[in-house]
Amino acid sequence: MKMLINVPETVVADALRGMAAAHPELTVDVENRVIVRRDAPVAGQVALISGGGSGHEPLHGGFVGPGMLSAACPGEVFTSPVPDQMVRAAAAVDSGAGVLFIVKNYTGDVLNFDMAAELAEDEGIQVAKVLVNDDVAVTDSLYTAGRRGTGATLFVEKIAGAAAAEGQPLERVEAVARQVNENSRSFGVALSACTTPAKGSPTFDLPAGELELGVGIHGEPGRERRAMMTSREIADFSVHAILDDMSPRNPVLVLVNGMGATPLLELYGFNAEVQRVLADRGVAVARTLVGNYVTSLDMAGASVTLCQVDEELLRLWDAPVRTPGLRWGV
């Protein structure tokens, strides 16, 4: 496999050095693997910290900045960051208003963020945690007890980040984050496997002419494999899978997310089919975001995430944000 890298062992460090050069508004500690907004800590504001294995960019480092995360902790590719990273990040961004850890539901992330919370609290930092578990495809899977955390992570980080930017207290920011997670559901589809730099070949076997319905963002198995389907058929299956698990009474935010190797031409066409299914099911759409936000290296495919929003959550979604990966209103 051809990759634009030097050697697999330095992929994450090289990417962080490049990120630092491109975004002087961030403080990027390459050695300790911590990305922090340069103006942190922000007086009177709850700080938001997330992280996870690299390979899902722009999640999470690309979402550090005003209106979203205060810091992010990247692990090695598809490998959880370690507690020392989260504790270092918490010390760098805590203004005294407390820190919220946003954790995708993968076993390594959960265990390490739990340990980090204990260590940070020992240092006098108030910590709350929110678990993101929005994937309806499967209940338990490789790396996961319970549902996996996927596209809703973006909604949680953005909306809770807006609440924090307004100066809302830790208890309220935590409650908003939990509400967003509870209101969100996702479903992903792989058209090809992803390739990690260390392996240099596809991480799972997906024969030509087949797709994986319900794939995880590390290539975990989904519900089933089928012969290749049209965009219309994939949208029907994906959106119905989500709506079978939720019955929105309010309008929804829609995220049509690329897995890394699917071009926008295809994603926008897929979004048209997603919108058709939602209209057929009588689901009102408040806002739509299309692009590569929660990726899986070079996997071809897409995921759909829906989040039911009331006026307050929609207001927070629309609030200004200024990060490398998400920016509006500023």
Catalytic residues: 56, 218
Q: Closest Cα partner for 130 from 183, 185, 178, 162?
A: 178
Cα–Cα distance for residue pair 34/181, rounded to 1 Å = 25
**Residues 11, 146: Cα–Cα separation, whole Å:** 31
Region at 236 (left for phi over 0; alpha for psi -120 to 50; beta for the rest): alpha
Residue-wise burial string across 131-168, b where 16 or more C-beta atoms lie within 10 A, e elsewhere? bbbbbbbbeebebbeebbbbbbbbbbbbbbbbbbbeeb
Distance CA 117, CA 146 (A): 21
How many Cβ atoms from other residues are within 10 Å of residue 274's Cβ?
26
Strand spans (E) along 136-251: 184-190, 210-213, 224-227
Closest CA to 137 of 226, 244, 56: 244
DSSP-assigned letter for residue 149:
P
The whole-angstrom separation of Cα 132 and Cα 104 is: 5
d(CA 190, CA 255): 16
Question: Is the distance from CB of 155 to CB of 180 less than 8 angstroms?
Answer: yes
The Cα 120–Cα 30 span in angstroms is 21
Q: How far is CA 253 from the centre of its chain?
A: 15
